[in-house]
Amino acid sequence: MNVATRNFGAPIRRNEDPRLLCGQALFVDDVELPGMLYAAFLRSNVAHARIRSIDVAAARARDGVVAVYTAEDLGAYWAPGPLLVPPPPIEGITFNQRTQVPLAKHKVRHVGEPLAVVLAQSRYLAEDALNDIAVELDPLPAVVDLEKALTGDARVHDDVRGNIAARVRQSRGDYAAARSRAKHVIARRFLYDHGASQPIETRGIVANWDARANQLTIWDTTQAPVFLRNGLAGMLGLSERQVRVIAPFVGGGFGPKIMLFYPEEVVIPWAARRHNRPIKWIEDRLEHFFATTHERGQTHDAEIALDADGRILGVKDVFLHDTGAYNPYGLTVPINSQCTLLGPYVIPSYDSTFTAVFTTKPIVTPYRGAGRQHGVFVIERLMDVAAHELKIDRVEIRRRNLIPPDAFPYNNEIIYQDFAPLAYDSGNYEPILDKALKMIGYETFIAEEQKKLRAQGRHVGVGVACYVEGTGIGPYEGAKVQVQANGKVSVATGIGTQGQGHFTSFAQIVADQLGVDVPDIDVVTGDTDQFYWGAGTFASRGAVVAGNAVNEAAKAVRQKILKLAAEHFECAEEDLEIGNGEVSVVGVPGQAIKLGALALKANPMRGAVKPGTEPGLESTQYFGPPSGATASGVHAMIVEVDPQTFTLDVLKYVVVHDCGTVINPLILAGQIHGGVAQGVGNAFYEQLVFDDDGQLLNASLADYLLPTALEVPHMDIAHTVTVSPLNPLGIKGAGEAGAIPVGPLFAQAIEDALGLRDRNVELNEIPLSPGRLFELTVKLR
Amino acid sequence: MHPITVTVNGTKYERQVEDRLLLSDFLRHDLLLAGTHVGCEHGVCGACTVIFDGAPVRSCLMFAAQTDGHRIETVEGLAVDRDHLHPLQQAMRDCHGLQCGYCTPGILMTMKVFLEETPNPDEAQIREALSGNLCRCTGYQHIVEAVKLAAERMRK
């Protein structure tokens, strides 16, 4: 019997929307509990200093203040956080683990690092009391610039010489040999700075210790509720059952909401237990700029060796990576940069070395793209320089180097962030490129339109950028699917949701397996009392890993339904069909039973049950892919630049993307649109500006510019589909793709619009901005 | 403390409020109308937008005490119930105009007033009117489509 696929693949409206649209969805700050206390954190206002003293006596004496704590008060509970992602098994690597602490002791290492926490009757009073705390700090030299960090005397961690957080070399083939026989060798320095994720909801946590139930309940804006629960249980000496973590509706995450364990996540539950009262902390936007992790910058010295026809013989890259004051997330970001640089191209030899550097700036952890942008920028810019120097069309040089469709699975022979070899499972790159060129009208634009527009004095250029994205990595996720007595189906999974539409896409998967309408499927994500195994929402993996687990669980429930119904009707399972919320006997009108009635039968009150029978129409299944599925795509755009103000007008923007099988094209389009918007911000509007003292100079949304509806262009999206062989649904992740190639695309298109290449100006850095374009082109004036 | 009488979504509330209490905090934590969200508390993101005597305002930039004798509409007042959405809400759902949904209440309140003043907007007008509200998830395209669709449905 075939499974109907009327829901899977359809642009179905989201189940979660009515609640969100009516203002009835629960976000963390909406949790109101009787007797609640409110927390505010005192944060360091300097980047690097020794703490001489913190005097909280006056703050404790203020009316309405219940308690003030510093690191000393935490006693044995005070400890550096865990290393979330250990370094991959790469030979010869250096890794110096230094993780963040709940409240600073002895030393502060970045502006915003928490020094003390105030608990008071209201947030207003808690903030008042912060002003009562007297802190004496002995300032130390800030460590801001990556190259100076390696050679200077100042140390972020006293025992880490040269501020080296890590050094990793990965290679394939023999680059030196490739270089020696190359016709062309091109070397450049590239700077790529990624910014802050800035979800519109900041972080927050509410913790409530219920002494009667012996249970701690935590509402947290986390992307990884299961790990948070397990970790906190361990820290607090509780069993896992005693800790319930709920990630309710979360107002955007994009990576930084994974970071475990933020100081506030350690301190607030501890305090809630100590006071036997609920405590709420909500980050304000100013705090968010310092207290939530960033991604930030890398400096690449890269070299490409090519033959006479522009075929790549090898790439060498040496780069510095800013990891901030601590490195709890291991090497994920720079490993992604190192691996994603290889892109969709055949690169027979590769020699890449990076040094991760401690600085006195906020911690760096993955933010949408998670370092992939940096690598893509390097290879795409190298391709542009090579095209120019070899006098080959930008698109043609890319086409010549694409991995051919018969080469998959394609092994790059280095290790990826999931510890597996970087092997592309499937793909077909040339049709994606062709489709994008056709949609943007590349040939006509170059041959006719651009010339026409230039003759009118307009500065219009085109850009085309390619990328691949390793998505959907393990280790695993799980899901529980259960038919309820009312005929509706409940689905629970351990990952959290921050707007990705899981309540609908997972329901679509189940709907087809069980013949139930999508609105009748109730999906719960991110509540550890509902499901407590899994890793979390990151690396474009929700649909791939949790989606396949949901599918496996739904398939198992389907088998249970058929088995029980066959017993009920005394017929063969093959004679049954599932649909419209019931099971019926094919060809026998009136012989049907509702799924709800069957669910009741599956939990009988009397009678003997055969050994081995499980009650209920329920199943829990897990799915773990052997390695990540590789999505790919091409973005193209036509941009007009105002040569006086250097403001941009994106006239056309095209995305062609292959993420394997599509569950819901509407949700997928939304993911791509949002990714591109963040890419646009990264490319031209957003930059975290630090001064030499490690002070962030633009820590407000008035100064750190998130793109608005006027900066984000209309996008035309198309898909190609190469099904991933790594999971039964054939899915590849799509969450991050939109954001990844926008930087090199902007650089290339702006260069083209202003005719910079012919005048020896290269845009080898991101972000750009009107001011930066003015500086870079001033010599042409 | 100030005594205030304020009408929110047609209901009259009499409360005592501290001078410095922000309107956003008053709505969310005193009246428990938590649908109005707070994103930046410095008037940039627009998530906390409510309608004050018919005009969209940022509730994080006003004090509760300033609302004495005035009329406020919040997202909770838009729909009859979850099954009978305002055309703007319905269009946002139909066009997938929201992802995490955190900025959505502010966008709905801003666009409600915009469509009352501009019943037949073109895309440029919609984008201009939307540009005071930040959304980090959607890239705005589906919101623009939703506002267009809502305008069309509301004209009929």
Q: Mind listing the pLDDT tens digit for each residue in B54-84?
A: 999 999 999 999 999 999 999 999 998 989 9
Whether B44 sits inside 8 A of A702 (CB atoms) is: yes
pLDDT > 70: what percent of chain A? Answer: 99
Interface test with A, best of B41, B81, B141 (most A CBs within 10 A): B141
Decide if B47 is inside a domain: yes
Would an 8 Å CB–CB cutoff place B24 in contact with chain A?
A: no
Of B96, B90, B92, nearest to A501 by C-alpha is B96
- Which residues of chain B have a CB within 8 Å of the CB of A11? 96
Q: Do A316 and A438 sit in the same domain of this protein? A: yes
How many interchain CB pairs under 8 A, A with B? Answer: 185
Of A563, A555, A559, nearest to A623 by C-alpha is A555
Q: How many Å apart are CA A549 and CA A477, to the nearest integer?
A: 6
Give the orientation angle of helix B87-94 with respect to helix B104-117, to 10 degrees: 120
Peptide bond into B87 cis (omega under 30): no
Q: Do B66 and B106 sit in the same domain of this protein? A: no
What is the phi/psi pair of residue A163, to 5°? 55, 30
- Which residues of chain A have a CB within 8 Å of the CB of B9? none
What tens digit of pLDDT does each residue of B121-141 get?
Answer: 999 999 999 999 999 999 999
What is the phi/psi pair of residue A196, to 5°? -105, 145
Neighbours of A721 (CB within 10 A): 14
Whether B139 sits inside 8 A of A674 (CB atoms) is: yes
Domain region containing B36: 2-77
Confidence tier at A545 by pLDDT (50, 70, 90):
very high
Structure tokens at A293: 């992790």
What tens digit of pLDDT does each residue of A406-442 get?
Answer: 999 999 999 998 888 999 999 999 999 999 999 999 9
- Which residues of chain B have a CB within 8 Å of the CB of A29? 28, 34, 38
- Which residues of chain B have a CB within 8 Å of the CB of A23? 33-36, 74-76, 105
Decide if B150 is inside a domain: yes
- Which residues of chain B have a CB within 8 Å of the CB of A670? 96, 99, 137-139, 142
**Separation in Å, CA of B44 to nearest CA in chain A:** 6
The pLDDT, as a whole number, for residue A613 is: 80
Q: Do A311 and A439 sit in the same domain of this protein? A: yes
Whether B89 sits inside 8 A of A21 (CB atoms) is: yes
* Tokens 């309405």 sit on residue: A64
What tens digit of pLDDT does each residue of A78-97 get?
Answer: 999 999 999 999 999 999 99
The pLDDT, as a whole number, for residue A3 is: 54
> Whats the size of chain A, residue-wise?
781
Confidence tier at A1 by pLDDT (50, 70, 90):
very low
The pLDDT, as a whole number, for residue A63 is: 98
Whether A285 sits inside 8 A of B39 (CB atoms) is: yes
Closest Cβ–Cβ partner in A23, A201, A499 for B35: A23
Secondary structure E strands in A484-559: 489-493, 521-525
- Coil, helix or strand at residue A545: helix
The pLDDT, as a whole number, for residue A539 is: 80
Whether B142 sits inside 8 A of A669 (CB atoms) is: yes
Decide if B37 is inside a domain: yes
Would an 8 Å CB–CB cutoff place B103 in contact with chain A?
A: yes
Poorest-pLDDT segment among A320-334, A488-502, B12-26, B89-103: A488-502
Whether A17 sits inside 8 A of B98 (CB atoms) is: yes
CB–CB of A761/A777 below 8 Å? yes
What is the phi/psi pair of residue A14, to 5°? -85, 140
Q: Do A281 and A322 sit in the same domain of this protein? A: no
Structure tokens at A492: 């629970």
Of B94, B99, B100, B112, nearest to B154 by C-alpha is B112
DSSP string, A168-235: EEEEES-HHHHHHT-SEEEEEEEEEEE-----SS--EEEEEEETTTTEEEEEE--S-HHHHHHHHHHH
Decide if A10 is inside a domain: no
Decide if B82 is inside a domain: no
Q: Do A695 and A760 sit in the same domain of this protein? A: yes
Interface test with B, best of A12, A20, A502, A700 (most B CBs within 10 A): A20
The pLDDT, as a whole number, for residue A5 is: 63
Does A609 score more than 80 pLDDT? no
Please give the residue of chain B at the shortest CA–CA distance from A497: B100
- Which residues of chain B have a CB within 8 Å of the CB of A14? 93, 96
Of A370, A353, A369, nearest to A300 by C-alpha is A353
What tens digit of pLDDT does each residue of A435-451 get?
Answer: 999 999 999 999 999 99
CB–CB of B23/B36 below 8 Å? no
Domain region containing A603: 474-623
Decide if A182 is inside a domain: no
Q: Do B15 and B37 sit in the same domain of this protein? A: yes
**A537 vs A748: which has the higher pLDDT:** A748
Of A119, A118, A129, A116, nearest to A37 by C-alpha is A119
Cβ-in-10-Å burial (0-12, 13-18, 19+) of A430 comes to middle
Decide if A91 is inside a domain: no
Q: Residue type at A455?
A: A
Q: Do B69 and B97 sit in the same domain of this protein? A: no
The pLDDT, as a whole number, for residue A178 is: 98
Neighbours of A215 (CB within 10 A): 15
Confidence tier at A780 by pLDDT (50, 70, 90):
confident
Number of structural domains in chain B: 2
Q: Which of B53, B77, B101 is the last residue of a domain?
A: B77
Q: Do A645 and A759 sit in the same domain of this protein? A: yes
Q: Do A742 and A702 sit in the same domain of this protein? A: yes
Whether A22 sits inside 8 A of B144 (CB atoms) is: no
What tens digit of pLDDT does each residue of A150-191 get?
Answer: 999 999 999 999 999 999 999 999 999 999 999 999 999 999
CATH code for position A478: 3.30.365.10
- Which residues of chain B have a CB within 8 Å of the CB of A22? 35, 75-76, 78-79, 81-82, 85, 89
Closest Cβ–Cβ partner in A18, A284, A714 for B41: A284
In SS3 terms, B30-99 reads as HCCCCCCCCCCCCCCCCCCEEEECCEEEEHHHCEHHHHCCCEEECHHHCCCECCECCHHHHHHHHCCCCC
- Average pLDDT score over residue span A127-155: 98
Q: Which of A253, A268, A291 is the last residue of a domain?
A: A291
CA A468, distance to chain mean position in Å, is: 15
Closest Cβ–Cβ partner in B40, B128, B137 for A499: B137
Neighbours of A67 (CB within 10 A): 18
Q: How many Å apart are CA A710 and CA B129, to the nearest integer?
A: 10
The pLDDT, as a whole number, for residue A2 is: 44
Interface test with B, best of A13, A14, A15, A17 (most B CBs within 10 A): A17
Does A4 score more than 60 pLDDT? no
Q: Contacts from B81-86 at CB under 8 Å and sequence distance 24+?
A: B81/A22, B82/A18, B82/A19, B82/A22, B82/A24, B83/A18, B85/A18, B85/A21, B85/A22, B86/B112
Of A680, A685, A667, nearest to A731 by C-alpha is A667
Confidence tier at A614 by pLDDT (50, 70, 90):
confident
- Which residues of chain B have a CB within 8 Å of the CB of A285? 39-42, 45
Does A386 score more than 60 pLDDT? yes
Of A367, A365, A114, nearest to A252 by C-alpha is A367
Q: Which of B77, B108, B123 is the last residue of a domain?
A: B77
Closest Cβ–Cβ partner in A29, A673, A701 for B138: A673
Please give the residue of chain B at the shortest CA–CA distance from A19: B82
Q: Do B67 and B106 sit in the same domain of this protein? A: no
Decide if A72 is inside a domain: no
- Average pLDDT score over residue span B49-56: 98
Poorest-pLDDT segment among A168-172, A507-511, A608-612: A608-612
pLDDT > 90: what percent of chain B? Answer: 97
Decide if A36 is inside a domain: no
The pLDDT, as a whole number, for residue A549 is: 96
Closest Cβ–Cβ partner in B36, B44, B79 for A22: B79
The pLDDT, as a whole number, for residue A220 is: 98
Q: Do B6 and B67 sit in the same domain of this protein? A: yes
**How are beta strands A204-210 and A114-120 bridged, if at all?**
unpaired
Structure tokens at B80: 């009859």
Q: Which of B77, B95, B110 is the last residue of a domain?
A: B77
Q: Do A364 and A411 sit in the same domain of this protein? A: yes
Would an 8 Å CB–CB cutoff place B72 in contact with chain A?
A: no
Burial state string for A102-127 with b = 16 or more CB within 10 A and e = fewer than 16: bbbeebbbbbbbbbbbbbbebbbbbb
Whether A714 sits inside 8 A of B102 (CB atoms) is: no
Number of structural domains in chain A: 3
Decide if A7 is inside a domain: no
* pTM reported for the whole predicted model: 0.97
Structure tokens at A304: 């490409």
Secondary structure E strands in A229-368: 243-246, 279-282, 296-306, 312-324, 349-358
- Which residues of chain A have a CB within 8 Å of the CB of B126? 709
Q: Which of A623, A656, A689 is the last residue of a domain?
A: A623
Q: Which of A562, A595, A623 is the last residue of a domain?
A: A623
CATH code for position B35: 3.10.20.30
pLDDT > 90: what percent of chain A? Answer: 93
Q: How many Å apart are CA A435 and CA A447, to the nearest integer?
A: 18
Closest Cβ–Cβ partner in B36, B102, B127 for A709: B127
Q: How big is the CA angle at A21 (ends A20 and A23), to the nearest 5 degrees?
A: 65
Sign, CA dihedral A502-A508-A513-A516, equals positive
Decide if A12 is inside a domain: no
DSSP string, A359-389: -SSPPB---TTTTHHHHHHHHHHHHHHHHHH
- Average pLDDT score over residue span A456-485: 95
CATH code for position B149: 1.10.150.120
Average pLDDT, chain A: 96
Decide if A564 is inside a domain: yes
Whether B93 sits inside 8 A of A18 (CB atoms) is: yes
Decide if B67 is inside a domain: yes
Whether A254 sits inside 8 A of B136 (CB atoms) is: yes
Q: How big is the CA angle at A139 (ends A138 and A140), to the nearest 5 degrees?
A: 120
Closest Cβ–Cβ partner in A20, A32, A666 for B104: A20
Q: How many Å apart are CA A731 and CA A733, to the nearest integer?
A: 7
Q: Do A645 and A733 sit in the same domain of this protein? A: yes
